[in-house]
Amino acid sequence: MDSENTFLDLPQPEDDRCHATILVVDDDRFILKMFTSILQAKGFQVTCASNGLEGLQMAKQIQPDLIFLDIMMPRMDGFEALRNLRQLKEFEQTPIIIVTAKADTNTFLKAIKLGANDFIAKPFSKMDLLRKMRFALQRATQQNGAPHSTNEHIPLYHVTFIDPKIFANLQRKFIYKFENIFLDILKMINRGERVPLRKELSDLKDACEYYELPRAARILKNALHLLEKEEWPGVVHYLDELYQLFQSLRDVHPLESEPPCNNK
């Protein structure tokens, strides 16, 4: 029954958002049909493209109100399409939601850096799809309609739409994933692999900044500074401080159930 979806605050027929044009870019025909069926049933105008290059061309042609963009596609992947879209002035305020089966931290962070506003992992539910789309359109409307009293205009692609509860869960998972990352870092130090270590620490610093862990980001910045001067004892000192910090964060952000120990 329709009443079951009222808590989603979905657009009603008289709502202008219901006339929004949605562009879906994915090389999977089944996914395209699913998007089309779900969105058209709610009154949205849906246009589909089967690869990044076609999606970019279609976006220029129809000027969609929102774009769902897959990552792994032929001819031009989602990352490259996203990069191209954000370089165009007309898509500065267009919400873009990444659709991916590869929902890992690195993929997510790369998409955010390139200008994605949110992501939805495959397989996804109808409810999750509609909720994310409604929230993105609502935020875009608020952003575009907000008065700008100063010259500081924040492009929409600098704004993420991640639900606070989802963000907290991602942050918690990142904290628990750190121990495995730290073991890889120790192996690089043991082998004296300065170049890959620099990249690993830099990526980790970016992740800490995204997940709002400023102290961890500062520690990593200091470690990177000493790494450039090849002051290995200092690097190890800061990494030890980082490890202790993440151990304390695990106490502050406990999982509902501790991950099982891997004794292999």
Q: How many CB atoms lie within 10 A of CB 173?
A: 14
Q: Residue 22: its pLDDT value, please? A: 97
Give the integer Cα–Cα distance in Å for 161 and 136: 6
The average confidence (pLDDT) of the chain is 82
Q: Residue 256: its pLDDT value, please? A: 55
Q: Are 111 and 86 in contact (CB under 8 A)?
A: no
CATH superfamily placement of domain 2-162: Response regulator (3.40.50.2300)
Read off the pLDDT of residues 86-134 as tens digits, 9 standing for 90 and up. 999 999 889 999 998 876 667 777 888 888 988 888 888 888 899 889 8
Q: Which amino acid is at 168?
A: A
Q: Residue 227: its pLDDT value, please? A: 95
Quote the tokens at residue 182.
């730290």
Phi and psi at 67, nearest 5°, equal: -125, 130
Q: How many CB atoms lie within 10 A of CB 139?
A: 17
Q: How many CB atoms lie within 10 A of CB 133?
A: 29
pLDDT tops 60 at residue 7: no
Rg of the chain's alpha carbons, rounded to an integer?
21
Higher pLDDT, 8 or 91: 91
Q: Residue 161: its pLDDT value, please? A: 66
Read off the pLDDT of residues 139-175 as tens digits, 9 standing for 90 and up. 888 766 544 433 344 455 556 666 677 778 888 889 9
**In terms of pTM, does the model score above 0.75?**
no
Give the integer Cα–Cα distance in Å for 81 and 187: 36
Cite the residue boundaries of each domain of the chain with CATH code 1.20.120.160. 165-252
List Cα–Cα distances, 134 to 8, 15, 26, 68, 87, in angstroms: 8, 12, 20, 13, 25
Read off the pLDDT of residues 188-217 as tens digits, 9 standing for 90 and up. 888 889 999 999 999 899 889 888 899 999
User: DSSP characters for 121-169?
Assistant: ESS--HHHHHHHHHHHHHHHHHHHHS--SSS----GGG-----HHHHHH
Higher pLDDT, 113 or 218: 218
Q: Residue 255: its pLDDT value, please? A: 64
| CATH 1.20.120.160 correct for 165-252 | yes
Q: Are 224 and 209 in contact (CB under 8 A)?
A: no
Cite the residue boundaries of each domain of the chain with CATH code 3.40.50.2300. 2-162
Read off the pLDDT of residues 58-96 as tens digits, 9 standing for 90 and up. 999 999 999 999 999 998 999 999 999 999 999 988 999
